[in-house]
Amino acid sequence: MNIDEQLEFLRKGAVEVIREEDLRAKLEKSARTGRPLRVKLGADPTAPDIHLGHTVVIRKLRHFQELGHTVIFLIGDFTGLIGDPSGKSATRPQLTREEINANAETYKKQIFKLLDPEKTEIRFNSEWMDKLGSDGFIRLAAHVTVRQILERDDFQKRLAEERPVALHELLYPLTQAYDSVALEADVELGGTDQKFNLLLGRNLQREYEQEPQVALITPLLEGTDGVQKMSKSLGNYVGIDEPPQEMFGKLMSISDDLMWRYYELLTDFTVVEIREMRERAGSGEINPRDFKVALAKRVISDFHSASSADAAEEEFNRVFKRKEIPDEVEERAVTAQLWKLPRLLVETGLAPSMAEARRLIEQGGVRVDGERISQIDAEIDVTRDPTWNPLLIQVGKRRFLRVRGT
């Protein structure tokens, strides 16, 4: 690619590049000198699993890798101890070093579903932060003013609402910014919620007489509900380590409008190709459902395999189009007795709470041996002889569980 083509390739799916003229200059210098750019993406291992929302920016890191640049996946094992205050209305709980290390191991495995492990630097910011010491940290803090830190929208809002802002939270942007100095980053990637931190990195690099990094900012992916950003806590996520059948069902549940957003941020189709597909769907030439199937299979192929994607489609058709039971259904043993249905759903993990179990039942989302149960006080008999076939419980469209009394 020439420089214009590279910029177009890197701009796809980005909401802002600060500054684009700087990125052009860096790409031109790299082409002239043969020195690849150092491109950094940081992630605090505060949860053990990566979902599709996280992969938007990881995919952009891969784009730089495909152009021959040095990509650095920085695991914030030090910053994770502080906790990123971005978008938070309250101080988040701090994790232990053991929790951070365990989560970091899963990150290292999962990112290589998108990145080339042979061409990826894995770094931990404890490498330099643990060595900085109290004296070094105080000298570092002298490069940033309190006013600069308090410009963050998160902090301003919490202070205006008289919510506490812990002192250690003020140190988080400073520490993330210093990562860019330590790594001598040419480019840093991050979501829109990271813009303040990325810009502070540019400022701090100037303080250390380094050429400031380019900040390439990606959007936050909406979850399957199409409203809130994808989040495990909101239940609207698609995990990249989830079984292919589960991923397929979730992706098929999204709206047609959201599908094009996913095509833009979760695939490498060009803007022109996506526009052409959308026009063909809009004209009625091709059913939008066919494009949704293709999207689901492409995403599953990225994180599992093409054969897994084919099997997931077949399973989906068997269950939802032909109304059949999946070939493999998990089985769980419970105490042989009469169970109130809400309690049984919670006991078997089919509902997270009694309130949610009652809601599912009242909305007609629960079947036992094929019969829809809508009474929240219904009693389910699991006192059968254990040699008999277990009960088949279905919650919603996708969740099946066989329950056997012991």
Residue 83 included in any domain: yes
pLDDT for the residue 128: 95
Find all residues with CB under 8 Å of 10, minimum gap 6, and list them. 17, 23, 60, 63, 64, 67, 216
| Domain identity same for 8 and 145 | yes
> At how many degrees (to 10) do helices 256-266 and 288-303 cross?
40
C-beta of residue 21 within 8 angstroms of C-beta of residue 29: no
3-class secondary structure per residue, 253-290: CCCHHHHHHHHHHHCCCCHHHHHHHHHHHHCCCCCHHH
| Domain identity same for 76 and 207 | yes
pLDDT for the residue 326: 72
388 secondary structure, DSSP code: S
Per-residue pLDDT of the chain (406 residues; tens, 9 = 90+): 899 999 999 999 899 999 999 999 999 999 999 999 999 999 887 777 789 999 999 999 999 999 999 999 999 888 877 776 665 555 556 677 788 888 888 888 888 989 999 899 999 999 999 999 899 999 999 999 988 888 888 888 888 888 888 888 888 889 999 999 999 999 999 999 899 999 999 999 999 999 999 999 999 999 998 888 898 777 889 999 899 999 998 999 899 999 999 999 999 999 899 999 999 999 989 999 999 999 999 999 999 999 999 999 998 888 766 666 776 788 888 887 889 999 999 999 898 889 889 988 988 889 887 778 888 888 888 865 544 567 889 898 778 888 888 7
| Domain identity same for 139 and 197 | yes
pLDDT for the residue 203: 94
| Domain identity same for 179 and 130 | yes
Our CA angle for 266, 295, 64, nearest 5°, is 25
Domain that holds residue 281: 244-321
pLDDT for the residue 99: 81
| Structural domain count of the chain | 3
Rounded-to-integer distance, Cα 128 and Cα 310, Å: 46
Rounded-to-integer distance, Cα 238 and Cα 242, Å: 7
Closest CA to 240 of 40, 376, 47, 16: 47
Burial class (CB in 10 A: 0-12, 13-18, 19+), 143: middle
pLDDT for the residue 341: 92
Residue 163 included in any domain: yes
Instruction: Write the CATH number for 373.
Output: 3.10.290.10
Residue 239 included in any domain: no
Burial class (CB in 10 A: 0-12, 13-18, 19+), 32: exposed
Residue 165 included in any domain: yes
Of the residues 292, 321, 350, the one at which a domain ends: 321
